[in-house]
Chain A
Amino acid sequence: DAGITQSPRHKVTETGTPVTLRCHQTENHRYMYWYRQDPGHGLRLIHYSYGVKDTDKGEVSDGYSVSRSKTEDFLLTLESATSSQTSVYFCAIRGLAGDNEQFFGPGTRLTVL
């Protein structure tokens, strides 16, 4: 267990509302990632962070922003949620073994009505 938690685990919201998902790690890992998973698309990288205040875009970053003010927390924000952002969101951290292993959190199921 890599000590990753995500909150909330489930959320239903309405189109146009802002939503923030939180990823918290207790392992002091430098690299953190946000993915979304949709049927037929596998996991797609949204944003990632390589340190406090250091973030970069992934494959599907439009409509999402992130922040990392502390090593242990990586926040994903949907400024104005749309129905196309209904998905399961996974946070992950990169292990230290040098084999590119990532440890995933339990996921957040977000529904935008």
Chain B
Amino acid sequence: GQSLEQPSEVTAVEGAIVQINCTYQTSGFYGLSWYQQHDGGAPTFLSYNALDGLEETGRFSSFLSRSDSYGYLLLQELQMKDSASYFCAVSPGSGNTGKLIFGQGTTLQVKP
């Protein structure tokens, strides 16, 4: 089967750094993505890693290790607006159809 695991909740203070881990098991793999979702809103894309290593986009970075079936999202200089749910998602399968299998999400609470 296919599965992803990520922590259900994380709490951090404003200005801090937080790391959200994701481990996955899939048949076939095209990449690991991260999405952010605020309460009542639609998911929005944050990052995508197809190859091992670190991708940086402003305050957010994402890392992938294909050999370990593991990735993480790193959020720096946390702001109150970063309070949201964060989902990792893998693109599985033998054809690059772009379909995604999502983790159950990590709720990040940023405190003042």
Give A residues with C-beta under 8 Å from B: 31, 33, 35, 40-45, 48, 50, 56, 58-59, 90, 94-95, 99-107
Contact = CB atoms under 8 A, between A and B. Distances in A.
Contacts, number: 59
Interface of B: 30-31, 33, 41-45, 48, 50, 87, 89, 91, 97-105
A100 B91 contact: yes
Contact of A102 (B31, B41, B98): B98
22 contacts: A31-B97, A33-B99, A42-B102, A42-B103, A42-B104, A42-B105, A43-B43, A43-B89, A43-B102, A45-B99, A50-B97, A58-B99, A59-B101, A94-B98, A95-B45, A100-B50, A101-B33, A101-B48, A102-B43, A102-B45, A102-B100, A104-B42
Nearest to A90: B42
Contacts of A102: 43, 45, 98, 100
